[in-house]
Every structure is written in C-alpha cells, then in structure tokens.
C-alpha cells in the first residue's frame, strides 16, 4: 500500500490522534513538516491519500508553499484521490477547488457543537454519529463551499464547518486533538490571553473536563476517519 502523506504547517499542529489511528491500523504514512521548510511534493503518484493539518497562518498570506499546496490538491482531486483537511487544511482545500477564505464573523475557540447538514452526503460520511456532536475549534477565518461540493457540517458560530466532494472531506473544526495538543495551545501566549465571549472559551474552561470531552471527540474522530480511510487508494 502506498503511504498517506500528512502536511504539518506548525510545530504544535501535527496529526495528533489521527497518527494513533493510522499506527493502530498499520497504515503507512509520512509527515511533511512544511514549517521546517520540507518541500511539498510536485506529484501525487507516490501517495494513497493527502491530509492537511491546521496552522496559525491564513491561506491568503503570501507564502510560497500555499500555491504549491493548492496545486497538489487540485491534482489529487482531478485524480479522485482522497483528501482530508483540518481547519487551515480545510481552507486550503476550499481555495484550491475554487472557494474563498474570509474572516469569520467571530473567532471560535474551544469546545462546541457541529450539526450534520440534512442531505445524503452527510449521512454517507457520518452514518454512525448523532445529528449534533461536539468537536474542538480554534479559528478566525472560514471557507466557502466550492462549486460542486456538498455542505456537510454547520455550527452556531460558523456556518461552514465541513464540506465533501467525492473522496474529499474538508473540516473547519478540529477532530485530531490530543491532551498534549490542547495543553500546548492553551499554554501558548495566545491561549493564556483568551477572554470569554459567546464563541471563545478561556484556557481554564477549555481544560476543564478535558479528558471526558476528548473521549467523546475521539469517538467522533474514529467514525469520521474510519469512513475516510475506507476510500484510500491502495
């Protein structure tokens, strides 16, 4: 089986819980650390699927690797190869497929619900999950739904939480979180400065009950990643 390739855009935003699932299932994968200057491949031929993680930058920033990433995404989509994006990664997929990324009306940080859009594609991707389930958020921008894609998830503070297109799943939210990642994010300068609003939780609030909430998040991640992994090109 060809390996998956996972793109990391910031040191604290790696594959997290997804890597645990891949190791358990003995699915080979490689991590490209874009934040360390590792190059984005210019071909899709070596990989069974493509995963793009989060990051603090915007896809609208003038960074040379963003154009490289969007070209790779378009090439993979043209070949009907599985694509998966988390937060910034979902925004990269949207931009590559003709969508736009703009400022969300509010920043959304912490635990919060997403709700499945009532359509056949959502039922195909999330068949074992409740209509509404809790995920993790940390973003200030949002993507539009590209032409030809199907809206899949929504939320009270951000309308576009996910879309699907063939074997592609783009998420605005985070399902890959681990305790170590949450501790790192909330312990950062940005995390320590969080003040409570209807859409933003403080670091203490995020960490309160974290392990029980992570257990629920991982159950959702097991289901979502399971459906996506079934579509890998072996």
Express each pLDDT in 147-186 by its tens digit.
Answer: 999 999 999 999 999 999 999 999 999 999 999 999 999 9
How far apart CA 120 and CA 73 sit, in angstroms, is 24
Tell which phi-psi region holds residue 87, choosing left (phi > 0), alpha (psi between -120 and 50) or beta.
left
Instruction: Tell me what the mean pLDDT of segment 133-159 comes to.
Output: 98
Percentage of the chain modeled with pLDDT above 90:
97
Confidence of residue 233 (pLDDT cuts 50, 70, 90): low
pLDDT digits (tens, 9 = 90+) for 94-105: 999 999 999 999
Q: Which fold has domain 4-229?
A: Rossmann fold (3.40.50)
Domain boundaries, the chain: 4-229
């Amino acid at each position: 089986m060809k390996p998956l390739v996972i793109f990391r855009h910031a040191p604290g935003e790696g594959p997290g819980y997804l890597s645990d699932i891949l190791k358990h299932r003995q699915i080979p994968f490689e991590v490209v650390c874009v934040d360390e200057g590792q190059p984005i491949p210019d071909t899709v031929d070596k990989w069974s699927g493509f995963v793009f993680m989060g990051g603090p930058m915007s896809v609208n920033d003038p960074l040379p690797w963003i154009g490289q990433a969007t070209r790779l995404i378009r090439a993979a989509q043209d070949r009907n190869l599985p694509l998966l994006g988390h937060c910034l990664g979902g925004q990269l997929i949207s931009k590559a497929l003709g969508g736009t990324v703009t400022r969300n009306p509010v920043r959304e940080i912490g635990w919060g619900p997403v709700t499945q859009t009532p359509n056949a594609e959502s039922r195909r991707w999330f068949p074992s999950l409740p209509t509404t389930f809790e995920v993790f958020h940390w973003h200030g921008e949002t993507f539009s739904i590209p032409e030809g894609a199907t809206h899949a998830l929504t939320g009270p503070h951000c309308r576009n939480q996910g879309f699907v297109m063939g074997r592609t799943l783009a998420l605005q939210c985070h399902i890959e979180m681990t305790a170590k990642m949450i501790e790192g994010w909330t312990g950062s300068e940005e995390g320590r400065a969080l003040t409570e609003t209807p859409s933003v939780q403080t670091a203490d609030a995020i960490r309160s009950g974290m392990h029980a909430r992570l257990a629920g998040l991982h159950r959702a991640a097991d289901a979502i990643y399971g459906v996506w992994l079934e579509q890998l090109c072996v």
